[in-house]
Amino acid sequence: MSTTYKSNNNIVYSCKYHVVWCPKYRRKVLTNGVDVRLKELLLEYAANLSVDILEIEIMPDHVHILMEVDPQFGIHKAVKSFKGYTSRIIRNEFPFLKTKIPTLWTNSYFVSTVGGAAPEVIKQYIENQKTSQRQKDKLG
């Protein structure tokens, strides 16, 4: 597989990250339309940042994203921007969240570079999250 490189005025890069973050207290609040709206907002807002979302899956209690980020913008700034932007809008559009949790997101997140793994493998993993969760729910 060949690597596709991106560039800006100063650098040529290929920086892909698998990122996961959770709602406060890992509450299962990303359901009943919140998940659909969250996905729309993330995809929409990515266009305003130096970020390409390659894959995304919203689970009831966490978010998986495979993204490519301009290293001059930075992964930390990208994640913080996504979380801040989506929290503001989601909490306004779904007021019940304000009574369930004090803030939408935890301060923490998981990030892993995917330089060693083919992006297709990570995409497949993220796509399979919903299926494997449904199977677990049926069993237990």
Active site residues: 125
Give 3-state DSSP helix, strand, coil % of the chain, rounded to 5: 45, 25, 35
The Cα–Cα gap between 24 and 103 comes to: 6
Give the residue carrying structure tokens 């449904």. Answer: 134
- Burial of residue 108 (number of CB atoms within 10 Å: 0-12, 13-18, 19+): exposed
